Amino acid sequence: MVRRIAVLGATGSIGASTLDVIQRHPDRYRPVVLAANRSVDEMERLCRLHVPDHAVMGDPEAAHALAEKLKDLTSTEVSSGAAVLDQLVSASFVDTVVAGIVGFAGLRATLSAAGAGKTILLANKEALVSAGGLFMDAVKRGGATLLPVDSEHNAMHQCLPTDASGRSHMANVEKIILTASGGPFRGRTRASLMDVTPDEACAHPNWAMGQKISVDSATLANKGLELAEACWLFDRTPDQIDIVVHPQSIVHSMIRYCDGSVLAQLGQPDMRTPIAYCLGWPDRVAAGVAPLDLVSTGRLDFEAPDMTAFPCLALAKQAIMQPGGMCVFSAANEVAVAAFLAREIRFTEIDVVIANALEAVNFSEPQSLDAVQALDNEARSAAAETVAQIASLTERQEKER
């Protein structure tokens, strides 16, 4: 049986890695739905290569332009909009949904896939972290299978004990050890980070990723999101998870058992490995990744994260303890990262925007998708206010100079 796959975020970094693995196994997988936001030319290229039944653009104008370009490709139907995507990910002709949209924008379609009982390959951590209990309830009620693509959580999934049906459980697990690369600014002081540029922040030493997650890795906000992600996926509290910086990104995370054994998953820093694991699960399929050469790697180092230079991690640890806090954290972070990439605020002001939003918004655990959306909106407004204040202060200071 060929598995029919919907790739959400097809034009992104996760989308490209997913389609690369899929293409290696035409006898096993077929991409039947490709979805993206605005990248018309890249989507045209992907549609001609993979010939999906459906191509969905978030932006209606982009969908119109894509439909024009694909007039001759009559087997691909082009459409746009969140409601269409909901229908497609829930349709009987889709078996597996790859949640590779970046940010809160990916939540609605991923929740629909969960409700429809699909197998979900989750890369879009912001969706899980923002909706938390609501997301996990949808998975349970819909009878969906949730497999983590995020390399650390994928490693945990690989190292955890499993029951007869291959599902992981937590018996005899004492600690989850979440590894972090430390990002491009590991070892730097906070003062030295004042003037770093978006290009410097996006130049990750080990991973090639989209811009947003690259900045998140540089601030360690990504590790905060991943701490919350691990808590939801594996039903843990933050004190049951240790964070260890491992600059080589070869050990992708570890599980410590009650007898002192520590199991680790090692691999190249290449997302095709965790994606292939999820696509193949409970079997294994080839990913096209070069074999790991430990002799050339030479050494594996570990150190404690620097919470002073990178306050986003400490902020996330606080937010996780307050129901609804991570929805505010994640939304404010998205606004702050966009402002940093647009050079409206400094790198060291990203955490200020998040901290202010956590102070300003009166939050509690959202009980419905509407409530999550309302909380996300409120956090975005609070964050935008801080961004505007910073921008006007900077403008005044520049004039005075």
**Could you tell me where the DSSP H helices lie in 100-210?**
107-115, 125-142, 151-159, 198-202
- Residue corresponding to tokens 């890695």: 17
Shorter beta-carbon distance to ligand NAD: residue 5 or 14? 14
Pick 341 or 391: Cβ nearer ligand NAD: 341
Considering the complex, what minimum distance in angstroms separates the CB of residue 216 from ligand NAD? Answer: 7
**Interface with ligand NAD (CB under 6 A), residue from 19, 97, 101, 121:** 101
Give Cβ neighbours of residue 129 (< 8 Å, ≥ 6 apart): 225, 228, 229, 232, 326, 327, 329, 330
Give the whole-angstrom CA distance, residue 344 versus residue 342. 6
**Binding-site size, ligand NAD (CB under 6 A):** 27
Closest CA to 110 of 259, 258, 244, 232: 232
Query: Between 90 and 151, whose beta carbon lies closer to Mg ion?
Result: 151
- The residue (of 214 and 356) whose beta carbon lies closer to ligand NAD is 214
State the residue for tokens 């606004």: 335
Cis, bond preceding 305 (omega within 30 deg of 0): no
Of 89-97, 118-126, 179-187, 228-236, the window that binds ligand NAD (rule: CB under 6 A) is 118-126
Over the window 6 to 25, marking each residue x when it contacts ligand NAD by CB under 6 A and - when it does not, the resulting string is ---xxxxxxx----------
Query: Could you say whether residue 81 binds ligand NAD (CB under 6 A)?
Result: no
| Residue 366 binds ligand NAD, judged by CB under 6 A | no
Q: Which one of 44, 53, 126, 150 is in contact with Mg ion (CB under 5 A)?
A: 150
Distance between terminal CA atoms of the chain?
69
Residue nearest to ligand NAD (CB): 12
**Nearest to residue 301, comparing CAs of 260, 245, 220, 217?**
245
Using CB atoms within 10 Å of the CB of residue 392, give its burial: 0 to 12 exposed, 13 to 18 middle, 19+ buried.
Answer: exposed
The answer to whether the CB of 335 falls within 8 A of the CB of 352 is no
List the 241-245 sheet strands across, edge first. Answer: 241-245, 173-180, 251-257, 262-266
Please report, as a single letter, which amino acid is at residue 213: I
Q: CA 337 to CA 351: how far, in whole Å?
A: 10
What is d(CA 113, CA 110) in angstroms, rounded to the nearest whole number? Answer: 5
**Does the footprint of ligand NAD cover residue 209 (CB under 6 A)?**
yes
Dihedral sign for Cα 37, 111, 253, 17, please.
negative
Report what 58 binds from ligand NAD, Mg ion, none; CB cut-off 5-8 Å by kind. ligand NAD
Q: Of ligand NAD, Mg ion, none, which one sits near residue 12, judging by CB under 5 to 8 A according to partner kind?
A: ligand NAD
Cβ distance 43 to 55 under 8 Å? yes
- Give the residue with the Cβ less far from ligand NAD, 221 or 390: 221
CA distance 396 to 380: 24
Contact call for residue 124 and ligand NAD (CB under 6 A) = yes
Nearest-approach distance from CB 150 to Mg ion, in angstroms: 4
Binding string, 151-190, against Mg ion, x = CB under 5 A? Answer: xx--------------------------------------
58 in contact with ligand NAD (CB under 6 A): yes
Q: Of these partners, Mg ion, ligand NAD, none, which one is at the site of residue 114 (CB under 5 to 8 Å by kind)?
A: none
Given Mg ion, ligand NAD, none, residue 231, with its beta carbon under 5 to 8 Å by kind, binds: none
357 binds, among ligand NAD, Mg ion, none (CB under 5 to 8 A by kind): none
- The 8-class DSSP code of residue 1 comes to -
The residue among 219 and 390 lying less far from ligand NAD, judged by its C-beta, is 219
Q: Which of 100, 132, 325, 366 binds ligand NAD (CB under 6 A)?
A: 100
DSSP state of 348: G
Block residue for tokens 């991409």? 31
Please identify, using beta-carbon distances, which residue of 354 and 390 lies nearer to ligand NAD: 354
Binding residues for ligand NAD (CB under 6 A): 9-15, 35-37, 39, 58, 100-102, 105, 123-126, 150, 207, 209-210, 212-213, 271
Binding residues for Mg ion (CB under 5 A): 150-152
